[in-house]
Amino acid sequence: MERHEIEAFLAVAEELHFRRATERLGLAQGRVSQIIGRLERRLGVALFTRTSRRVSLTPAGKRLRDALEPAYRQIQAAVEEAAATGRGVAGTLRVGFSSQWASDMVLKAAEAFRASHPACAVEVQEVQLSDTFGPLRAGELDLQLTEFPVEEPDLVAGPVVFSEARALLVPARHPLARLESVCLEDLARVPLVTVSGESPRYWHDGLYPRLTPRGRPIRRGATARYWAEVLSLVASGQGASPAALRAADYHARPGVAFVPFRDAPPLEYGLIWRRDGRTARVRAFTEALCRIAFRGRSQPRTAASRSPRPCSGVSQEVGSKGSPTARTPGRTTENLAPKETPPSSARR
C-alpha cells in the first residue's frame, strides 16, 4: 500500500464518514472515495459498507485497520523523532498525573525540563482513577506518572520513581480510627469504598484487594468515580478505603481518619507511555524527572525497597491486665494540621 492509501483508509476508518475524512486530509472532493475504491478493487475485498445513512467497516476492514494503525503510528513517531533530533526538542509535551503528590513531582520536572528545552511547552493534566489509561491511549497525553503495577501490552512502564506508605481511610467514629495502625487482615472488618471505571482488574485489585493475606473475603461497599466522592462516602460511614498515607496532607477533612498500615507494601509510582510513543520529548522529560526523583539515590528501583511487617491477626492493643485498649488515634483533622486544600477535583 502507498502512504496516501494508508492515510486515506485510516482516516475513513476513524471518521466513518468520507466527507469528513476528505476535509481532514485536505484533499479535493471525492478524492478519498476514489482512493478507497481503487484499493478495494486491488485487494479484491470490500473494506467499508456504505449506505445512504452510514459508513461502517467490514470484517476485512477491521482486520486491516487493527494491523495498520499501530505500524503507522510507529512510522509517525520515528519521523517526528528524527526531525526533533535535528531541530532539538520542541513542540508540546502533555503529561498526566494521578495524585497531588505525583503532580508536585511532575511540576518540578517540568520546570527543569523547560530550562533545558525552552522550545518545548509542557501541559499537565489530572487523570482520574476511573479511567487510568484512557487519556494516554487516546493520544490526549504523551506521558503519565501513575500508580504501579502497569502490565499493558500497548504501554511501557518505566522505573519506580517514588513510593508512598499506605493508609486506611475510615470514618472518624469507627473503632479502627482509634488505632495507631492497622494491618491487612483488618480489611475484612469493614466494607471497602472503591473507585469504579475502566481500569484493568489486576490494577484495581492492587489498590482494593478482594482477599486478606489469610484468604478472608473483603466486602465491597459503595463505589465512586472521583476522589472527592470517596472522601464523602467514607465520612458518611459507608465504608473504608485504602490510599496513600500522604493523602492526609492534602485531603484531611472532618469525619475521616487516616490510619497507617503496618504490613502493607508501599504504593509505587512510575512513568508510563505508549509503546509507539517514545519520542525525543518523552525521553527528555523522563530523564529530567528521574534526575529529580533519584537525586541522592544510587539507582532507580523496580520493586518495593522495604519488606512490610507481617500481621498475625486483626489489630488491637492488649493492656496490662490483658484487656484490649484503644491506641493513639489515627490521623484526623483533630490531630493533623492539613496543608492548603487543593481544588475539589483533586484526588488520589
**What is the average pLDDT score of the chain?**
84
Q: What is the pLDDT of residue 81?
A: 66
**CATH topology classification for 92-149+269-288:** D-Maltodextrin-Binding Protein; domain 2 (3.40.190)
Whether the pLDDT of residue 245 is over 90: the answer is: yes
Give the span between the Cα atoms of 293 and 301, in whole angstroms: 11
Give the confidence band of 287 by pLDDT, cuts at 50, 70, 90: very high
Alpha helical stretches, state H, the chain? 3-15, 18-25, 31-43, 59-87, 100-116, 134-137, 201-207, 227-235, 247-251, 280-293
Query: What's this model's pTM, rounded to 2 decimal places?
Result: 0.66
Name, in order, each residue with C-beta under 8 angstroms of 173's C-beta and a sequence gap of 6 or more.
237
Give me the residue label for grid cell 475504491.
Answer: 37
pLDDT tens column, 54-65:
999 999 999 999
Burial class (CB in 10 A: 0-12, 13-18, 19+), 319: exposed
User: Do residues 188 and 209 lie in contact, with contact meaning Cβ atoms separated by under 8 Å?
Assistant: no
Question: Phi and psi of 300, rounded to 5°?
Answer: -65, 150
Considering the chain, what percentage of its residues have pLDDT values greater than 90?
62
Give the span between the Cα atoms of 35 and 13, in whole angstroms: 13
pLDDT tens column, 297-323:
555 554 444 444 445 455 554 333 333
Whether the pLDDT of residue 205 is over 50: the answer is: yes
SS3 of residue 232 by DSSP: helix
What are the cell numbers at 194?
Answer: 472503591
Residue type, 327: R
Whether the pLDDT of residue 242 is over 70: the answer is: yes
Burial class (CB in 10 A: 0-12, 13-18, 19+), 299: exposed
Q: What is the pLDDT of residue 89?
A: 78
User: What does 141-175 look like in DSSP terms, one character per residue?
Assistant: -SEEEEESP---TTEEEEEEEEEE-EEEEEETTSG
CB atoms within 10 A of CB 43: 12
pLDDT tens column, 206-229:
999 999 999 999 999 999 998 999
Q: What is the pLDDT of residue 326?
A: 36
Q: Which secondary-structure segment (H or E) carries 94?
A: strand 91-97
| CA distances in angstroms from 11 to 15, 65, 86, listed in the order given | 6, 10, 29
CATH code assigned to 3-85:
1.10.10.10
- Quick check: bond before 149 cis, omega within 30? yes
Give the span between the Cα atoms of 320 and 332, in whole angstroms: 27
Domain range list for the chain: 3-85, 92-149+269-288
Give the span between the Cα atoms of 215 and 237, in whole angstroms: 25
Q: What is the pLDDT of residue 215?
A: 95
SS (H, E, C) 199-221: CCHHHHHHHCCCECCCCCECCEE
Whether the pLDDT of residue 331 is over 80: the answer is: no
